[in-house]
Amino acid sequence: MKKVKAKYAEQDDVVFVYITDESSNYEKWNEYVSLLGDEHYYLYDSQRFALGDLYGFKNIPAYLIFDKKGELSKMYVGVDITEAKAITWIENARAMEYQ
């Protein structure tokens, strides 16, 4: 996903948000994300499960693409999403503004 993030680094209409849960050690996570920047959130399991129920996923990682209206336009659960697929989905979500 490094290429995807680099492609949209200067675009103010694309934001990458990272969420983890109690399966990650909080102290290590906190040290790591302080070096990364971006939007990172640590959720309690109950919060993550509620989010999963809301958007229809049970496992992480999950990739959710929202349009500018805040509507979910695409979701993928798993680790093997391709950069090309992610870029296509982001571009489609960005184009929704003009439809």
Q: Mind listing the pLDDT tens digit for each residue in 41-81?
A: 999 999 999 999 999 999 888 899 998 888 899 999 988 88
Q: Where are the domains of the chain?
A: 2-98
State the pTM of this model: 0.78
Q: Mind listing the pLDDT tens digit for each residue in 21-40?
A: 999 999 999 999 988 878 99
Res 99: pLDDT: 54
Res 12: pLDDT: 86
* CB neighbours of residue 4 within 10 Å: 19
Which fold is adopted by the domain 2-98? Answer: Glutaredoxin (3.40.30)
Q: How confident is the model at residue 1 (pLDDT cuts 50, 70, 90)?
A: confident
> For the chain, how are helix, strand and coil distributed in percent, rounded to 5?
45, 20, 35
